[in-house]
Amino acid sequence: MTAVAAVAAAAVGAVALPASAADHHPDRAHAAVYISGVQYDSPGRDDRSNWSLNKEWVDITNSTRRAVNLDGWTLTDEDGHSYTFRHVRLDGRSTSRVHTGIGRDTRTDLFQDRRAYVWNNDHDTATLRNDRGRYVDEVSWGHHRGHRH
C-alpha dist (Å) from residue 75 to 33, 117, 119, 127:
13, 14, 11, 6
Give the chain's residues under pLDDT 50.
1-24, 26, 147-149
Q: What is the pTM of this model?
A: 0.79
Do 47 and 116 meet the contact criterion of CB atoms below 8 Å apart?
Answer: no
**What pLDDT score does 1 carry?**
42
- Which pLDDT score, from 0 to 100, does residue 15 have? 37
d(CA 111, CA 54): 8
Sign of the dihedral through C-alpha 53, 128, 81, 147: negative
CB-based contacts of 5-10 (< 8 A; 24+ apart in sequence) = 5/120, 5/121, 5/122, 6/46, 9/41, 9/46, 9/121, 10/45, 10/46
